[in-house]
Amino acid sequence: MALRRLLSFDYVIEHTGLPWLPTEPEKAAAFEALGIGRSLLPARVYRGAADGARRYFPRGMPVALDSSRAVFVHADPGYDTATALHSWRDRHLTLWEALRELGWSVEVVGVACARRQLVRAEKVLGNWTSPARSLDRAQVPATGRQMRREIDVIEHGIRSRDERVIGRYGRIRDCLARLAKLREALPTAPSEAMIDRFTVWRSSRFSEGGI
């Protein structure tokens, strides 16, 4: 844990131009100010503490937030695995989705002191930014999330007899046909990219002898 914190702090002091959120309360308050509730923030409940204390951003990794971009740093001290990186992603995913819905871009920085960890981070993070394969937009939307949104719109339009929604497709039977097409395509729909950009950065202060 100590080396992870040192690595992440090393990145911060080399990138002082970013608007870092130093503490847990500042991080939570910044996202709440955007309308993102605490239920979407990465958290851990400590059962042994009084009333099961909940800590947000429990690893204490750096986060920066400006008017258009959120930057999340993940530091690998050398003993992590790819599974650990994926677990960190999973804890942040709902927050990243909420940010992107609001128009913020999400950037992840992989920090390490050895080449092996940087290569692994570059490969994993690259998969998170891979664009979805294109589909015929005249047939179905490009991603599973877009499909689910359109399904929700059509279903609500049918239930509420919303003529604007129904008219977009023609008649009720056309809405039902569209729903059938979307539901058929949804199980094999491509996923959206989870983040917008990534970088990797090697610490010179804590380098491991050219590993």
197 pLDDT higher than 70: yes
Q: Examine the domain organization and report whether 77 and 151 are in the same domain.
A: no
Interatomic CA distance for residues 121 and 51, integer angstroms: 37
Same domain, 55 and 122: yes
CA-CA distance, 69 to 18, in Å (whole number)? 10
Q: Are 88 and 161 members of one domain?
A: no
Rounded distance, CA 201 to CA 159, Å? 52
Q: Are 21 and 95 in the same domain? A: yes
Q: What pLDDT, on the 0 to 100 scale, is given for residue 51?
A: 57
Task: Give SS3 for 156.
Answer: helix
- Tell me what the mean pLDDT of segment 79-106 comes to: 90
Co-location of 37 and 100 in the same domain: yes
Q: Are residues 123 and 158 in the same domain?
A: no
Number of C-alpha atoms within 13 angstroms, CB side, residue 199?
7
> 105 is written with which tokens?
């871009």
**8-state DSSP, 133:** P
Residue 15: inside a domain, yes or no?
A: yes
Residues 115 and 40 occupy one common structural domain: yes
Both 85 and 122 in one domain: the answer is yes
Number of domains in the chain: 2
Q: Is residue 136 part of a domain?
A: no
Could you give the CA distance from residue 166 to residue 149 in angstroms, rounded to a whole number? 15
CA distance 122 to 133: 21
Strand partners for 54: 45
Provide the token pair at 156.
């609500």
Contacts of 191 (CB under 8 A, 6+ apart): 132, 143, 144
What average pLDDT score do residues 28-55 get? 85
The tokens for 88 are 């960190």
> Which residue type sits at 183?
R
| Least confident interval from 61-75, 107-121, 131-145, 162-176 | 131-145
Q: Could you tell me if 6 and 104 lie in one domain?
A: yes
What average pLDDT does the segment 53-70 reach? 92
Q: Are residues 36 and 50 in the same domain?
A: yes
Count other Cβ atoms within 10 Å, centred on residue 132: 16
Please check the confidence at residue 172 and state whether its pLDDT lies above 90: yes
Find the domain containing 72 and state its range. 2-130+193-202
Q: Is there a single domain that holds both residue 176 and residue 197?
A: no
pLDDT category at 49 given cuts 50, 70, 90 is low
Residue 7 lies in a domain: yes
